[in-house]
A and B are shown apart, each in its own frame.
Chain A
Amino acid sequence: MVDEGTDTGHPHAAIAVRGLGKRFGEKVAVNAIDLDVPAGSFYGLVGPNGAGKTTSLSMATGLLRPDAGRVWIHGIDVWERPLEAKRILGVLADGVRLFDRLTGRQLVTYAGRLRGMDPTTVAERTEDLLRVLDLEDAASKLVVDYSAGMTKKIALATSLIHSPRVLVLDEPFEAVDPVSATNIRSILAGYVERGGTVVVSSHVMDLVQRMCSHVAVIAAGNVLAAGTVDEVRDGATLEDRFVDLVGGRAQGGGLQWLQS
């Protein structure tokens, strides 16, 4: 455990988390976790439902005030200098609505302008994002009329518009069709190659194993394992290793009658 008072986070970490904790009433959602996300890594965050992934990511991105602990984005304390941290951070939050009475184009533009970006740059980047995410045809439709996958993609676009140094994506592939998922993956891979850092949370182990360079396994508010994907999976597949770590496989029995 690192001393909280003097530490300024790992110097090369894109995201450094120390003693981050949150409780909701009696339930400890996140139990004083430490985590270092190296700059330039493609970091997967995996864990069962209710493990505290979204809570941790919300606290790391300024959406939810932690009860304890600190978070640094490239050395900037998120809770002491939130505006500076948010400038280099792109966030795709899970389970939040969008301003869905705007069209796709308006929404992405809106995100850029909220950040005080120059309008010409916003306009150029908006068109690029719409094109790459295959949303050009839907750009003039209201987001409320989008499908779940399109909504996810337009939300991703709003988190990319300012070219952040660190991208935190909570469940970015949920409800996204395979073609779009491949597109998004290649965008993210390209971004990491050019020095960006990506954190994704996901349920899909297979995807994380193929896509990510690093992974952390979270369950019941604790980090059970963290490191490069190869370290964590230790020769097995990530999925097997995950089930080992988290436990909870139903024993014996099974549904003998479930047959045709």
Chain B
Amino acid sequence: MVAELIRLKAALLVNGFRRSPWQLVGVVLGALYGLFITAMLIVGLFGLGGNDDRLLIGTVLILAGGLTTLLWAVIPVLAAGVDATLDPQRFASLPIPRRDLAAGLLLTGFVGVPGAVTVILFLAQTLAWRQWTTAAVVALPAGALGALYCLALARMTTTAAHALTASRRFREVGTILLFVPLVLLGPIIGGIESWISSEGSELMGWLPQVADIVAWTPLGAFAALPADAAAGAWAVLGIRLAVALAYLAATVGLWAVLLQRSLEQPASSGGGGRSHAGLGTLRWFPAAPWGAVAGRALTYWFKDPRYAASIVVVPLIPIAFWYASSQAGSPFMLYAAAPLVAVMLGFSISADVSYDSTAFALHVTTGLRGVHDRLGRVVACAAISVPLVVLLSFIPLAAGGDPVDALAILGVSLGGLLSGLGVSSVVSARWTYSVPLPGENPFKTPPGAGARVAIVQLGTFAVATLALLPELGLLIAYFVTGHPVYAWLTLLVGLVLGGVLLALGVRVGGRWFDARLPELMQAVTLNK
């Protein structure tokens, strides 16, 4: 049965290539990349082995092994939904003994680039220990078990996450929150860097202590076994082996229990769900058709993770820019945050009809006028983005900026937002593209979307930027001359020109919408 499952995984991989040569290209590139990384790391391990400080080798290997194991625990959860081949649910109706299923699913993890690379690298630890024969020998089984532990941990965390996230809301919030560290990656890495460089001399002093602790945790136990052998600490090795095996058994056992439970009670989105009495955001707007669209769209901004993701990301941008500007020692990066967020938010409704997916049919069958559809979506987006953009424009003030600067920034930002909304209103009435479907992971890129998405988005950005040139010109004039008149002019032109472009966009978009309603419907139908 176990061999059968591994063969199935391999067959699925191969069939994937047949369906799309691009997938083959992807896997080949992934494999080459993996091979490259593997080769480099093996060279690194070999080089490490040339060192005769066994404490140093042990510390490096335990920490690196621990980090790898941690990544295995976290990344598959983050990327949930990306690779659902061999989803345990699919075996629920087959009479396979649970033990075989668990073992099979566990081992199939080695079929594929990440699993293969991990097992090779863990085995290659032996190279680093080549000056201590016993340690080199111990490193082989320890490496194999360590790699197995990575896979078991990955299975356990994903299954646990799956069980925990039976609630739709939890799953959605989780996905978005996990994205936060990615946006802040720059500042985080920079912070660690500067911290290391300031504490560098002492680092080597306490890293071995960290390694000592990690060596007793599930993350580092297997990697620490060769170090014990090299030290000749056989009693410690025996105890640590027992502990490590206990960790492995516990992880596999826990996974098996979770798997069993998920097979018996498939996670369903039904049943639960909080109640929302009344009409919610629909009540905030006039009962006209455009008000209805605005109310509905606003609800989606908060409840649909594909929209909510952009709201969560927005406050992070000034943080990233603040960091960048503190590094550069000039406030200009901080000034850039508000216009950038403004253009992004204006751009955000350019895929609105694509996001509706086939639910758009309701707009078609109710005979909604294009102008109402466009206007409603703009109003909803503006209700969120105008306060945000105004707030961001004044943030430099808190950092000791000039109030007149803030005025000019506000002008460019509002101009960018308004004209961006106008351009988006036209674009989304004409060009749709594949987006993650309702309920899918908001950060997933749908297959086969590539070129079209890129062209539409680039074109939209280009036009939106073009429309912003007058404000940008005035802004530059202000910063060059320092004359406040230019700041006021920027604000005035931003509001007037932006407003005119927005009105124009809504009208033109509305007309195109009316003319191409069935084609739009057809496009969202095909995008599914």
Contacts and interface: CB of A to CB of B under 8 A. Distances in A.
Interface of A: 61-65, 82-83, 85-87, 89-91, 93, 95-103, 105-106, 109-111, 113-116, 118-119, 122, 140-142, 144-147, 158-159
4 nearest CB pairs, A to B: A86-B367, A113-B292, A145-B273, A119-B287
B271 A145 contact: yes
Given A97-B438, A144-B439, A145-B168, A111 B366 contact: yes
Nearest to A83: B367
Contacts of A116: 288-289
Interface string B247-282: 000000000000000000000011111111111101
A238 B367 CA distance: 36
B282 A110 contact: yes
Contacts of A146: 270
B365 A61 contact: yes
B365 A86 contact: yes
B296 A110 contact: yes
Contacts of A122: 287
A109 B113 CA distance: 51
Contacts of B218: none
Given A97-B361, A115-B366, A147-B270, 6 more contacts: A62-B364, A89-B365, A98-B359, A140-B277, A144-B168, A144-B438
**B299, B361, B519, B522 pick with most chain A CB within 10 angstroms:** B361
Contacts of B361: 63, 91, 93, 96-97
B282 A113 contact: yes
B2 interface: no
B303 interface: yes
21 contacts: A63-B365, A63-B518, A64-B522, A93-B361, A95-B358, A96-B525, A97-B357, A97-B358, A99-B300, A100-B438, A101-B300, A105-B278, A109-B282, A113-B289, A115-B289, A115-B367, A119-B287, A140-B277, A140-B278, A141-B274, A158-B362
B314 interface: no
A217 B425 CA distance: 43
A125 to B, nearest CB: 14
Interface string B505-525: 000000000000111011001
Contact of B365 (A93, A97, A113, A119): A93
A114 B294 CA distance: 11
A82 B288 CA distance: 20
Contacts of A147: 270
B438 to A, nearest CB: 6
Contacts of A158: 362
A99 B362 contact: yes
Contacts of B357: 97
B515 to A, nearest CB: 11
A95 B357 CA distance: 11
Contacts, number: 128
The interface residues of chain B, by DSSP majority, are classed as: helix
B228 interface: no
Nearest to A85: B367
Contacts of B274: 141
B113 to A, nearest CB: 35
Nearest to A159: B365
A65 B362 contact: no
Contacts of A145: 168, 269-273
B221 interface: no
B362 A102 contact: no
A98 B358 CA distance: 7
B304 interface: yes
B371 interface: no
Contacts of A115: 289, 366-368
A13 B402 CA distance: 72
**B270, B299, B366, B368 pick with most chain A CB within 10 angstroms:** B366
A113 B291 contact: yes
Contacts of A103: 275-276, 280
B362 A141 contact: no
Contacts of A90: 365
A93 B277 CA distance: 27
Given A97-B358, A101-B303, A145-B272, A114 B282 contact: no
A65 B519 contact: yes
A98 B296 CA distance: 12
B130 interface: no
Nearest to A161: B366
A55 to B, nearest CB: 11
B369 interface: yes
A64 B524 CA distance: 12
B364 A142 contact: no
B48 interface: no
Contacts of B279: 105-106, 109
B293 interface: yes
A89 B366 CA distance: 8
Given A106-B282, A147-B270, A113 B300 contact: no
Nearest to B277: A140
B98 interface: no
Contacts of B162: none
B296 to A, nearest CB: 5
A106 B439 contact: no
**A90, A95, A102 pick with most chain B CB within 10 angstroms:** A102
A91 B365 contact: yes
Nearest to B373: A114
Interface in B415-462: 438-439
Contacts of B362: 98-99, 110-111, 114, 158
B363 interface: yes
B275 A140 contact: yes
B365 A62 contact: yes
